[in-house]
Amino acid sequence: MHKIILAVRYFLKRRITHFAVLAVALCVFIVVVVMTVMTGLVRDFKQNNHNFVGDCVVGTESLVGFAYYEDFVNILEQQKDFIEAVSPVIKSYALVNVINTENNPGLEILGIDPVKHSRVTNFANTIHYQKGDVSKTFVPSYDPNLVGCVLGIELAFERDLNGNYYYPNTCPRTGYSISCFPLTAKGALSKAGTGLVRTKTFYFSDTSHSGLARVDFLLVYLPFEQTQQLCGMDGPTKRVSAIHIKFKPNIKLQTGCEKVAVLWQKFKQEKADEKQAYLLDTVTVQSWKNYRRASIAPMENEQTELIVMFAFVGITNVFIVLVVFYMIISHKSKDIGILKSIGVSNADIMVLFSGFAFLVGLLGSGIGLFAGRLFLLKINRIEDWLFERFNWQLYDRTIYTIGDIPNRVEFNVLAIIALSAIVACLAGALVPSWQAARQKPLDTLQVNQL
Amino acid sequence: MLKLFLWLRYLRKKKIVFLSIAAVALSVSLLIVVASLFTGFINTFERAAVEAIGDVVLAPLNKFAKPTMFAKYGLFIERLEQTEAVEAATAMLSAQGLLHLVEKGNVRAVAVWGIEPERRVKVMGFDRFLLRQRNSGGKPSFDTNGSEEKLGGFVGIGVLGEPDEKTDKYDFDAIEKMFGEEVVLTTGTVSQEDPDSQTRAEVKRKVMKFTIADVVETGVYQFDKGCVYLPIEELRKYLYPQEKPVASQIQIKLADNTDTDVALAVIRGVWQDFVEDELGGNLFLMNANIMTAKQIQSRQVAAYRKQMWILLLIFGVVSLGVVLLIFCIFYMIVRLKQKDIAIIKSCGAAGSSVAWIFVGFGSCVGFIGSGFGVLLGYIVTKNISTVEEWIRIIFGLKLWKSSVYQFSKIPNEVNWFWALVFVLLAIIAAAIGTLIPAIVAAATKPVEILRYE
């Protein structure tokens, strides 16, 4: 009991302690705000990647694709216990010309069946004009007889300064001439049809806003069969680039991927004697995290770098607590002497000052967390106000594909920050506490010391 | 003299002061590293643009305000180079295409640049980016080992292969094997719609084969990953066989010590005269885009600068803890050295003199701490690549990738302006931290402290 009383008493009586609390609170406030925003950006980015890909991908990087996919799709669809939906897709590059303009960029194309793909991914929620009926994604509203295409939002429309896209009320009629290299199963250029290149005209039917910059800037969605023809994958043995899979809700990602990998190995062995079996060698089974690793890893790295930098700056807090405790202990040597003379052990003295440090850390981090939470609640309103008054934004929405600043507090992040602050305080108090514990009552309570 | 004596004595006797020096050093070094890396990145970003497209770019527009081409560019370049503002200029014809590499099914989307290699050397030192020809000493060319029949072209190093996942280095042995290989490029042109003759716009696909004569490594991922370079005239023959020599851009190097605004005015004047004399005074062409490379990049640079400011502000606020630390340490010293202070005051020293001892001492702590901080910041910034490499080896974490940060080298130039700013701020912050302890010291009454009882 005396430990608690003394710790509280020191805290109330020694005003210098308040500076330690202030320093801890300041540091916790900044870390909470920055890490919440950063964690939110990473979390949203990961979620967008997950939404874009589904849970698992069986696919190849080669633009030739792989054969016998229909058989494997059938096998996957029979796995009702852990697979919810399956969507084969075709990925390639194409020259996309906006008809009546000289604009002729090289873009990525993704051939999908919109209904199947929406069961696996979040595609249905990313489109605008046909949101209610995804089966009509590739049916232009102005002429249902035309073949439609879906453009990444940044290819179709521009954003205003607030980051909002301007969607015309009706889907604008625009034609796109899309040219691809059709490749044979051996990877050579197919010379059939229109020569080395196949070209087909599609009409703008919708846009997709995935929230992923690279996808929204560079990707054009096309109907599955037409893309298969454009890429030369529509031969007697049809090919695709990948099969996207969604697991049942109760299936763990790793478990699901392992099961699919086992199925794939078995399937590969069964097809080993087939003519185009060599195409199956480059196919891998990956979870969405691995599949999008190249995009996700840099953001996670930046988050780690920021944490390391904060850790360095946080060392100052350890120093502050050390100095404060050093001062307190040097002024309270008589208290310590009395305590020890009535039988309090060295460990108890250390516990007393560690408890005091814990109190400082707890209070400091409590204030910091509260202030940080309050600031985060208002952060978007503060940014709006700054933009209205001073034309200043944290992120220029015409450059970055960010909507609101993420401000959803994650309690595990808060807990880690608070815990780190308390540990820093305990670390700072460790040496002074140890010195206090080593003091001898005989020395401190001598008459000439009083 | 007394102040100096006391400063040195406190420094020697009160080891805890070293904590504040360490804290100042840590904060200053961190801020210097962050500011230097950011400004280095921004400078590299701007320099990369100049090295890729020259100091100034002239791009004519058509009636739809879209980039278009113009003829007689040789004559225009001649006229430009006669002015004092321009040192050299070169033409470029750009298109988009798909490149089919020799390996099975390897197709890439690329930007196709028709260039004049010799002139390009004068404008942006292009020869130093060519893997095979950069040390040859001769003029860069598209020759393919003496075979005149084969069309030669340059390919960005990233088009041929990805950098290693762990080291971010290209496999140069594999790349060298690609020299002399034939690749297929498909590109296209769009003919303009003409309501008068009732002809519709038409897309014409062009497929051309060329041999890899050299590989371009600019160190800028965007260009290395997605650019193919061909002789401008050969590209023109494929794209626009009916046309005379045409260019879609003129890239210009300004003469040394030329004022940019003056140079832009001169270039616009020469361009307008040229359009008037040679291109029939076409009004749309007359209003060509003439911008410096920095102007083209300005929005992106502004966004980077904003990020830097925010990061510095965050670390600056967290570094305020140093002020508190110095306050605590000096308050402790003042409390413990009350007898010293009382003796000094009893000898006739004024309160302000006593206060100055502590403020001056605090400033010295700030000065010494920031000195160490500058040293530490300098060492870390200069050796940032080594630090990053060690992190990769120990933790397996590759922090810098050209595919993410655009450049293959981490900028390692210390920004001395920011270093000076942080040193001054550190000294001021340290002085502020000592203010209250100094006032407490100045208010000390010798009578009360030195009483025998």
* Residue that is written with structure tokens 């062409």 in the block: B285
Please indicate whether, in this complex, the C-beta atoms of B332 and A317 are within 8 angstroms of each other: no
pLDDT digits (tens, 9 = 90+) for A142-160: 999 999 999 999 888 887 7
Cβ–Cβ contact B327 with A under 8 A: yes
pLDDT in the model for residue A381: 92
B193 contact residues in A (CB cutoff 8 A): 100
Q: If you compute the radius of gyration of chain B from its CA atoms, what whole number of angstroms results? A: 32
Among B67, B105, B324, the residue with its CB nearest the CB of A62 is: B105
pLDDT (mean) for B255-274: 92
CB of B151 within 8 A of CB of B208? yes
Cβ–Cβ contact B341 with A under 8 A: no
Distance, in angstroms, between B167 CA and closest chain A CA?
Answer: 14
Q: What does the angle CA B218 – CA B224 – CA B226 come to, to the nearest 5 degrees?
A: 145
Please indicate whether, in this complex, the C-beta atoms of A93 and B98 are within 8 angstroms of each other: yes
Please indicate whether, in this complex, the C-beta atoms of B105 and A323 are within 8 angstroms of each other: no
A92 contact residues in B (CB cutoff 8 A): 107
Same domain, A39 and A70: no
Quick check: is A188 in a domain? Answer: yes
Least CA distance to B398: which residue of chain A? A301
Please indicate whether, in this complex, the C-beta atoms of B26 and A316 are within 8 angstroms of each other: yes
Same domain, A262 and A410: no
pLDDT digits (tens, 9 = 90+) for A229-263: 998 898 889 999 999 999 999 999 999 999 999 99
Where in chain B are the domains? Answer: 2-46+303-449, 61-287
Please indicate whether, in this complex, the C-beta atoms of A106 and B111 are within 8 angstroms of each other: yes
Please indicate whether, in this complex, the C-beta atoms of A320 and B321 are within 8 angstroms of each other: yes
A313, A317, A392, A396: best to mutate for the B interface, most B CBs within 10 A: A313
Distance, in angstroms, between A63 CA and closest chain B CA?
Answer: 5
Q: At what angle do helices A411-438 and A293-331 cross, to 10 degrees?
A: 30
Please indicate whether, in this complex, the C-beta atoms of B107 and A199 are within 8 angstroms of each other: no
CB of B278 within 8 A of CB of B270? no
Same domain, A428 and A318: yes
CA dist B135 and B385 (Å) reads 26
Please indicate whether, in this complex, the C-beta atoms of B20 and A398 are within 8 angstroms of each other: no
Quick check: is A52 in a domain? Answer: no
B403 contact residues in A (CB cutoff 8 A): 294
Q: What does the angle CA B66 – CA B69 – CA B71 come to, to the nearest 5 degrees?
A: 155
Cβ–Cβ contact B403 with A under 8 A: yes
pLDDT in the model for residue B199: 53
Same domain, A322 and A242: no
CA dist A238 and A73 (Å) reads 13
End-to-end Cα, chain B, rounded Å: 32
CB of B57 within 8 A of CB of B271? no
pLDDT digits (tens, 9 = 90+) for A299-355: 888 888 888 888 877 787 788 888 888 888 877 788 888 888 888 888 888 888 888
- pLDDT band at residue A137 using 50, 70 and 90 as cut-offs: very high
Same domain, A119 and A181: yes
Same domain, A410 and A434: yes
- Closest to A427 (Cα-Cα) out of A322, A327, A346: A322
Among A30, A31, A100, the residue with its CB nearest the CB of B201 is: A100
A95 contact residues in B (CB cutoff 8 A): 96-98, 109, 186-188, 205
Please indicate whether, in this complex, the C-beta atoms of B328 and A317 are within 8 angstroms of each other: no
Give B112-163 as a DSSP string.
EEEE-HHHHHHHH-GGGGBTTTTTT-S-----BTTBSSSPEEEEEHHHH-PP
Domain end marker among A224, A256, A282: A282
Same domain, A146 and A249: yes
Cβ–Cβ contact B185 with A under 8 A: no
- Phi (first) and psi of residue B121, to 5 degrees: -65, -40
Same domain, A394 and A269: no
pLDDT in the model for residue B172: 86
Number of domains in chain A: 2
pLDDT digits (tens, 9 = 90+) for A176-226: 888 887 888 877 777 644 556 778 889 999 999 998 888 998 899 999 999
Please indicate whether, in this complex, the C-beta atoms of B109 and A199 are within 8 angstroms of each other: no
Same domain, A265 and A339: no
Quick check: is A226 in a domain? Answer: yes
CB of A364 within 8 A of CB of A20? yes
- pLDDT band at residue B424 using 50, 70 and 90 as cut-offs: very high
CA dist A58 and A260 (Å) reads 8
pLDDT (mean) for A390-418: 84
Domain range enclosing A141:
61-282
CB of A100 within 8 A of CB of A218? no
Please indicate whether, in this complex, the C-beta atoms of A187 and B103 are within 8 angstroms of each other: yes
Q: What ipTM goes with this model?
A: 0.72
DSSP assigned state of A159: B
pLDDT digits (tens, 9 = 90+) for A45-94: 999 999 999 999 999 888 889 999 999 999 999 999 999 999 999 999 88
Same domain, A327 and A421: yes
Tokens matching residue B209: 């084969």
Range scoring the smallest mean pLDDT among A124-128, B240-244, B338-342: B240-244
Kindly report the average pLDDT of chain B as a whole number.
85
CB of B229 within 8 A of CB of B140? no
Torsional sign, CA B428, B434, B439, B445: negative
Quick check: is A438 in a domain? Answer: yes
pLDDT digits (tens, 9 = 90+) for B114-151: 999 889 999 988 888 898 888 777 788 888 776 667 78
Question: Is a pLDDT exceeding 70 seen at residue B193?
Answer: no
pLDDT in the model for residue A449: 53
Cβ–Cβ contact B347 with A under 8 A: no
Same domain, A250 and A302: no
Same domain, A112 and A10: no
Kindly report the average pLDDT of chain A as a whole number.
87
Quick check: is A420 in a domain? Answer: yes
Please indicate whether, in this complex, the C-beta atoms of B97 and A106 are within 8 angstroms of each other: yes
pTM, to two decimals: 0.79
